[in-house]
Amino acid sequence: MPYRAPAGDIQFILDHVVPLAPVSGTARFSEATPDLAEAILTEAAKLCDTVLAPVQRNGDLTPARLENGVVRTSPGFAEAFDAIRDGGWVSVCAPAEYGGMGLPQCLNMAIHDMMSGACLSLQLSPLMTQGQIEALDHHASDELKALYLPKLISGEWAGTMNLTEAQAGSDVGALRTKAEPNGDGTYAITGQKIFISWGDSDLTGNICHLVLARLPGAAAGTKGISLFMAPKFIPDADGNPGEANAIKVVSLEHKMGLHGSPTCVMAYEGATGWMVGEAGKGMAAMFTMMNNARLGVAMQGIGVAEAACQAATEYAAERQQFGAIIGHADVRRMLVGMRADVFAARSIALACAQAIDMGSATEDADWVARAAFLTPIAKAFGTETGMRVSETAMQVHGGMGFIEETGVAQFYRDVRVTAIYEGTNGIQAMDLVGRKLADGGEAAYRILEEIEAGAEAARGALPDLAEEVWAAAETLREATEWMVSQAPQDRQAGGAPYLRAFARVLGAHFHLRAAMADAGRQALAAYYIRRTLPQHASDLAEARDGADTVFALSPEALGL
């Protein structure tokens, strides 16, 4: 059975677990009524099932290639992208004044979930473009907005994000690309960027690169970085693609997966660029794009987990070994565990999207802080879920999981990078226990109060499950108190397990909500709360151990 986009599951979450209602209750998103949401999810699911999923294997089997300096995409990708563009799917959350639909991220991210499950490597292109639209909308001059936004929003042009250089990965401040004033308001950009997703393609009429670079004499580190728009073709007087800019695709990276997405080494050879935002404020502007993309990458992990889970369940029902393997306890354990994990990760990510929407619609500081707190959790946990579930799906397939023709290995190979790009999951954990706890834990405690209140409300109907969730929230509260009182090094040594534990407890809270709303969801919630939630205790024990044990072994003791 082919991939089926989980519109029904998403709809349930938006109705009962992380409701869309408060979002559509704001003036800004009043058009996002339940009827519209349902119609959009249904249409997006149709696109995913009938257009995107059928080309997913093509990306793996016939990767994007570089031909005479131009990227040629995998068979069927151009037609599939046309359907994305013609359906207006790039424009879902873009500003209405430039042709966008102005809908909430709750819906946009739900669509990314489904698109990622259908064809991850293609979904990455509109995700990058949407991030660029948001960055330009917030930071660019009116002239740049008028020139670029309508074309990006319509999907006629695509956007990319150029941070990484060979010596500047997580430490973006180490980048060396230069931007020298041309004296006419433009800049000459010179340098090499690596790992640029969709740095070139034959899908769109122009490709707009947002590039981080340094002005002459700029301060060292991130403070000296500015942001520039450098299009592949410089728009002419009518705003149409004109003269070719001095930008080259040097090569495509050879990757473990995600072969349908061209990952480019880009050379900027005095390319003409326009500054976006203020000099020296490039990182802040790029963060607008990155935050959006971080949640989009969370959806990538979740979407692939969904697809892998579906494939494994179907295989287990058909494969006969001492009867259908779906009847064996260990196989069933894997399948139910996968399904429960996907639900938890999806609910967390949609809760983050909801907080982003509420924050932008109301400018309420608590919503803004909640969105900021949930972003690293959604990104790291969503992508870990993608890896874990696709790896388990391979196990369910037995030897056939290791054989490429079943396609299940592709899920794992494709999704693996999601834990690495858009800020590695290690960087997400540092962000959580550093900047996101810098408020003394206030945003975290507000979420813990919500979890405890949810457990209290469930005590009458589901006392055992409610008690487990309540007790886990208490343990997490103690660990949070410990975290906020520690030195940075000790927090960081426990950041990754703390993040995972937070996600586990929050996931259990959402499962409990689902079980309260629909008795049919109780079995899945019970599985998660009894079998998966307990892992939070060992994660928190590790989280609270501090840095001493980590540094007790010297590099020499590690074998250097």
Ligand X SMILES: Cc1cc2nc3c(=O)[nH]c(=O)nc-3n(C[C@H](O)[C@H](O)[C@H](O)COP(=O)(O)OP(=O)(O)OC[C@H]3O[C@@H](n4cnc5c(N)ncnc54)[C@H](O)[C@@H]3O)c2cc1C
**Which residues bind to ligand X, rule: CB under 6 A?**
161-164, 169-170, 195-197, 255, 258, 263, 417, 420-421, 424, 426-427, 430
Question: CB 290 → ligand X: shortest distance, Å?
Answer: 9
- Residue 333, classed as helix, strand or coil, is helix
Question: CB 264 → ligand X: shortest distance, Å?
Answer: 8
Nearer Cβ to ligand X (432/458): 432
Angle between helices 329-362 and 495-517 (to 10 degrees): 90
The β-bridge relationship of strands 206-214 and 247-252 is unpaired
Nearer Cβ to ligand X (197/354): 197
Nearest CA-CA partner of 302 in 346, 334, 340: 346
CA separation for the pair 101, 96 (Å, rounded): 5
Q: In terms of C-beta density within 10 A (0-12 exposed, 13-18 middle, 19 or more buried), how is residue 141 classed?
A: middle
Q: Which residue is nearest to ligand X (CB)?
A: 169
Nearest CA-CA partner of 502 in 363, 331, 325, 384: 384
Question: CB 56 → ligand X: shortest distance, Å?
Answer: 17
The β-bridge relationship of strands 233-235 and 241-244 is antiparallel
CA separation for the pair 201, 77 (Å, rounded): 10
Residue corresponding to tokens 């967390």: 348
Question: CB 422 → ligand X: shortest distance, Å?
Answer: 6
Check if 391 is active-site: no
CA separation for the pair 536, 534 (Å, rounded): 5
Asked whether 192 and 165 are in contact (CB, 8 A), the reply is yes
Question: CB 168 → ligand X: shortest distance, Å?
Answer: 7
CA separation for the pair 533, 217 (Å, rounded): 52
CA separation for the pair 549, 493 (Å, rounded): 9
Question: CB 446 → ligand X: shortest distance, Å?
Answer: 27
* Residues 6+ positions from 329 with CB-CB distance below 8 Å: none
Q: Of these residues, 384, 391, 422, 468, which one is catalytic?
A: 422
Nearer Cβ to ligand X (150/199): 199
Asked whether 384 and 419 are in contact (CB, 8 A), the reply is yes
Catalytic residues: 422
